[in-house]
Structures are given as structure tokens and as C-alpha cells.
Structure 1
Amino acid sequence: MPSEQDIYEEHVLDHYEDPYHRGHCDSVTHAEEGKNPLCGDEVRVELKLDADGKVQEAWFEGKGCVISQASSSMLMEKIEGMTFEEVREYTAEQMLELFGPHLTPNRQKCCLLPWRVVQRAMHAPVDDDDESQTHFGGPSLGEES
């Protein structure tokens, strides 16, 4: 029988190998990107909020370690359907619990990068005329076979 740690590790690898909403949102209303300068992890978050401030779609693009990319996938799945207030009140501690395995303080920074980017993205509406979106070069869902 697998241990709890094995189950967590499998869950993390599942999100890394088959991420939820990796790519770009067709109707993005809010977006932000961030980088961890210590390790080079990069994450861009694109959100589609409805008129009531509810997250209809949450997408990410990025490059970096398994932890930053898997936690990005987990967080996109988690916040879809949440209201602006619910996302704003979602804490770093809740993000670490969502991830699962216990992480050292340095690795917590990898896990919390997408959470920080989402918190900023909620306050960063996209100008429809802005064509300067950054793309990190990972395959989008449409490009995968």
C-alpha cells in the first residue's frame, strides 16, 4: 500500500506531466507574470473574470521546477469558480496545504510563486489593445497531440 507521501508525490507529478489549463485564455480579462530570481522559475497567469468578479477561466504558462509548475496547475484548478473576494482571501498557508508535501522554506517559494502572481493578477485588468503578452514557450493545450 502506498504511503501518504507517495500519494502526494504522485499527485504533484500528475499536475506537472498533465497540467490543468496550461496555455492561454482566449478571453483574458486579467493577467500578471512573476519570476523567482533565486531559481529562475517563471509563471504567467491569465484569468477571465465575469461581470460579477467570478473566475470563469484560469490559465497559466511558465517554466521552472516541478514544484512551481505543478502548483500553478493545482491553483488554476482551485480558483476557477471562486469570487474575487474568495481568491483575495486565499492564503499562502492554504496554497501550501493544497500542494500537499511538506516543503523546505526555499522550496515553499517555488510553490508560492503562482499564488503571488494570481493575487497580483486579480488587480491587473488587461487592456484589450495590449499586444505585449509574454509567452514562456511551453506547449499550450492546443499544441499537444
Structure 2
Amino acid sequence: MLNTLSSHAWRASTSTSISLGKEDKGKSPTGVNSTSLIVPSCVPSSSGSSAACKQSRDVASDVSAKLTETSDLLIRQIQNSAKANSQTKQMKIQALVVAKELKAHDKNAQRKHDLKLKIAENNHELSMANEKTKQLELKSQLEMVRLA
């Protein structure tokens, strides 16, 4: 198939260069690209395939191998990039979860601290009230002793 395509390209370029007359000198034909790749055709000899055919097949297989290698590399890079993106998202979510847990822990610790302070304050008020009650009882007993 490569042989067919290259021979058609060669025929097209030779026929257009022959058809250029004196008027068309210096102008490039509209249908032909001057930088087109022309692969020489290989005609097998009677003794087997020629060296040119082997070389063109080797070039084609090399190009095919390089394209396959490059596409595999690109696929791996895309997969690695997708994996890195998913890991980044997962780490962000984990960071948010840890931040919320830390915030909840801090609130809980603050509540416990506030409760301990309130308990200490209530215990102090209770002891002060008990002390005042004792003083009032002693005063009342002293008054009873005076009146008796």
C-alpha cells in the first residue's frame, strides 16, 4: 500500500512539473505541496525483495514503534496526572475532615474547661454559703444564750 501511495505521489509531482509551461514558471501548482514527503517506490527484483524495500519497511516499523512508545508514554503520563489529581483531591478532603475534627475537639475541650470553672465557682459559692450559715447559727445561738 505504501508503494502505491508513493508511486501516485511521484506521478502527480512529475506530471505537474511537466505540465508547467513558460507561463507557469515560478508559480507553484495549487494541487501540489512543495514540501510533500515522497517515499521512493520499491520494485522487488526477481531474486527477492530489494534492500530499498527492507529499508522502507524498517523505517516504517521504526516510526510505528516510536509512535506506539510515544502514545504509551502519553497514556501513562495522563494516568499519572489523573492519579495525582485524585490524590490531591483526596488529601484536600482529608485535610478538611481533620480540620473539622480539630475544631470539634477544641470546642469540646473549651466546654469541658468552662464546666470545670463553673463547678469550681459553684463549689466556692457553696462553701461561702455554708460558712455564712454557720456564722448565722452561731449568732442565733449566742442571742438565745443572752436571752435566757
Normalized against structure 2, the TM-score is what?
Answer: 0.21
* RCO comparison, higher one (Cα < 8 Å, 6+): 1
Q: Which has the larger radius of gyration?
A: 2
| Structure with the higher strand share, 1 or 2 | 1
TM-score with structure 1 setting the length: 0.21
